[in-house]
Amino acid sequence: MQTRTKPIPFSRPTIDELEIDEVVDSLRSGWITSGPKVERFEAMFRERLGVEHAVAVNSATAGLHLAIACLDLQPGDEVIVPTLTWASTANVVELCGGRTVFADVDPGTLCLDPEDARRRITPRTRAIVPVHYAGQPADLDPLRAMAQEHGLALIEDAAHALGTFYRGEEVGASGGVTVYSFHPIKNITTGEGGMIVLDDEALAERLRLLRFHGVSKNAWKRYSGGGRPRYEVVEPGYKYNMLDLQAALGIQQLKKLEAFNARRAELAERYGRLLAEVPEITPLARVDYPAVHCWHLYIVRLDLSAVTLDRDDFMQALGEEQVGTGLHFPPLHTQSFFREKYGYREGSLPHAEQAGEEIFSLPLYPLLTDEDQDDVVSAIKKVVAAHRSAP
Ligand SMILES: Cc1ncc(COP(=O)(O)O)c(C=O)c1O
């Protein structure tokens, strides 16, 4: 018999009347693209983090693209990226004409291994892009030290890390370039969306320019309050601005972040307890420096020696039990574009490669009930019991 008849989705955004009313307010106002709500949402980020600038964009991918574009990479320039990340962290390096240099991850936490990153620094290295994987902070102190020593930019991919703290400081609050995502599965959502936060005034100005065609004024300022109609294309830019419709969602979602993250933490703690009874499934290790985990993802590893099916089939079997799961991520250096361009072979980045065969992500979001979670764990137990390896 199936564990459930009603599916448990891998993820589901928490949207209520407050978000709906705020979006409707924008729709009724006559202004739906970038405008006052984007400015308000940006101000909320500046205030939360105590940073000088917040630049709202239409995805974290766009934010990372702009941040890398501002490095003005020359052919042959290199950017170090952990291989266990979403495609866009590295794609944007390639799109900007750079060479992606993948680094391995810590075998327990799967965050970027700073020592492996250090070994990959060359005279052509321009930047390191740590990913705060699953919601735990990457070890920023050694990364900051090597960035300073070698004159490198540090661009934090905080797509998973809204509400994460590193050694007592919220990720993004340092004023270094940090990029968040508001994709529907993230800790807050704007449908699609992203935010770049930073202290550097000149860089913020360029990011704003490049976010909107390289034009020095945005449409709202031109057409409201009698602004002057002329504009100037300073350099070719992108169309990456966030809509007020998106910011309307974000304004209401950000107010609930603490409550959302508290429920995520409660569920994570509960998973830990429930899964302690299933030795074939192990949650990721916690970082050994002071940190607050924002629990974007609850990633577990499957002990492949203990069961007769591989991870993909295991996820499929859970799907047949109506339990949705996710894969974050197959290592990027094993993807055909990067493998062929850079000649990676099996064993190049062994920790990530092993994890890439074992990991999957369980449902974790504020709307998940304790009963749903019990059913997720029952389904896991059932699949394990049906496929246990012979002793
Ligand atoms: C680590 C990481 N970086 C960047 C992104 C890109 O975010 P977005 O979907 O907002 O472009 C994602 C998306 O899930 C991600 O997981």
CATH code where residue 113 lies = 3.40.640.10
pTM for the whole structure: 0.96
- Regarding whether 118 and 99 lie in a shared domain, the answer is yes
Percentage of the residues of the chain whose pLDDT score is greater than 90: 93
Cβ of 86 closer than 6 Å to ligand 1, yes or no, is yes
135 domain-assigned: yes
- Tens-place pLDDT, residues 276-322: 999 999 999 999 999 999 999 999 999 999 999 999 999 999 999 99
- Regarding whether 232 and 159 lie in a shared domain, the answer is yes
- Regarding whether 104 and 36 lie in a shared domain, the answer is yes
Cβ of 159 closer than 6 Å to ligand 1, yes or no, is yes
Active site residues: 186
- Tens-place pLDDT, residues 329-352: 999 999 999 999 999 999 999 999
3-state secondary structure the chain: CCCCCCCECCCCCCCCHHHHHHHHHHHHHCCCCCCHHHHHHHHHHHHHHCCCEEEEECCHHHHHHHHHHCCCCCCCCEEEEECCCCHHHHHHHHHCCCEEEEECECCCCCCECHHHHHHCCCCCEEEECCECHHHCCCCHHHHHHHHHHHCCEECEECCCCCCCEECCEECCCCCCCEEEECCCCCCCCCCCCEEEEECCHHHHHHHHHHHECCECCCHHHHHCCCCCCCCCECCCCCECECCHHHHHHHHHHHHCHHHHHHHHHHHHHHHHHHHCCCCCEEECCCCCCCEECCCCCEEEEECCCCECCCHHHHHHHHHHCCECCECCCCCHHHCHHHHHHHCCCCCCCHHHHHHHHHEEEECCCCCCCHHHHHHHHHHHHHHHHHCECCC
Cβ of 89 closer than 6 Å to ligand 1, yes or no, is yes
- Regarding whether 270 and 240 lie in a shared domain, the answer is no
Decide if pLDDT at 203 tops 60.
yes
33 domain-assigned: yes
- Regarding whether 109 and 148 lie in a shared domain, the answer is yes
Burial of 118 (0-12, 13-18, 19+ CB in 10 A): middle
Protein residue with least CA distance to atom 16, ligand 1: 86
CA dihedral 303, 261, 36, 236 (to 10 degrees): -20
For residue 227, the model assigns a pLDDT of 61
11 domain-assigned: no
Cβ of 157 closer than 6 Å to ligand 1, yes or no, is yes
For residue 329, the model assigns a pLDDT of 97
- Tens-place pLDDT, residues 63-100: 999 999 999 999 999 999 999 999 999 999 999 999 99
Decide if pLDDT at 224 tops 70.
no
Decide if pLDDT at 387 tops 80.
yes
d(CA 19, CA 122): 48
Decide if pLDDT at 374 tops 70.
yes
Protein residue with least CA distance to atom 7, ligand 1: 60
Are the C-beta atoms of residues 287 and 109 closer than 8 Å to each other? Answer: yes
CA of 276 to the centre of ligand 1 (A): 30
Cβ of 83 closer than 6 Å to ligand 1, yes or no, is no
1 domain-assigned: no
**Domain end marker among 222, 237, 255:** 255
- Regarding whether 197 and 97 lie in a shared domain, the answer is yes
391 domain-assigned: no
For residue 218, the model assigns a pLDDT of 54
d(CA 154, CA 71): 11
For the chain, give the mean pLDDT. 96
Decide if pLDDT at 223 tops 90.
no
- Regarding whether 181 and 42 lie in a shared domain, the answer is yes
**Domain end marker among 220, 255, 290:** 255
Radius of gyration over alpha carbons of the chain, in Å? Answer: 22
Cβ of 60 closer than 6 Å to ligand 1, yes or no, is yes
For residue 260, the model assigns a pLDDT of 98
Q: Which two tokens stand for residue 376?
A: 């997720």
- Regarding whether 261 and 245 lie in a shared domain, the answer is no
Band of pLDDT at residue 5, cut at 50, 70 and 90: confident
- Regarding whether 223 and 358 lie in a shared domain, the answer is no
CA of 60 to the centre of ligand 1 (A): 6
138 domain-assigned: yes
Are the C-beta atoms of residues 319 and 69 closer than 8 Å to each other? Answer: no
CA of 146 to the centre of ligand 1 (A): 25
194 domain-assigned: yes
CA of 177 to the centre of ligand 1 (A): 16
Are the C-beta atoms of residues 351 and 106 closer than 8 Å to each other? Answer: yes
Question: Average of pLDDT values for 185-198?
Answer: 98
Band of pLDDT at residue 228, cut at 50, 70 and 90: low
- Regarding whether 245 and 109 lie in a shared domain, the answer is yes
Question: Average of pLDDT values for 269-277?
Answer: 98
CATH of the domain at 293: 3.90.1150.10
**Domain end marker among 239, 255, 271:** 255
321 domain-assigned: yes
Atom index in ligand 1 nearest the CA of residue 194 equals: 10
Band of pLDDT at residue 1, cut at 50, 70 and 90: low
Decide if pLDDT at 225 tops 60.
no
- Regarding whether 237 and 309 lie in a shared domain, the answer is no
- What's at 174, amino acid-wise? S
Cβ of 194 closer than 6 Å to ligand 1, yes or no, is yes
- Regarding whether 265 and 121 lie in a shared domain, the answer is no
CA of 13 to the centre of ligand 1 (A): 16
Closest by alpha carbon to 194, among 70, 57, 351?
57
Decide if pLDDT at 52 tops 70.
yes
Protein residue with least CA distance to atom 15, ligand 1: 86
Number of domains in the chain: 2
Decide if pLDDT at 194 tops 60.
yes
Q: Which residues span the domain enclosing 249?
A: 17-255
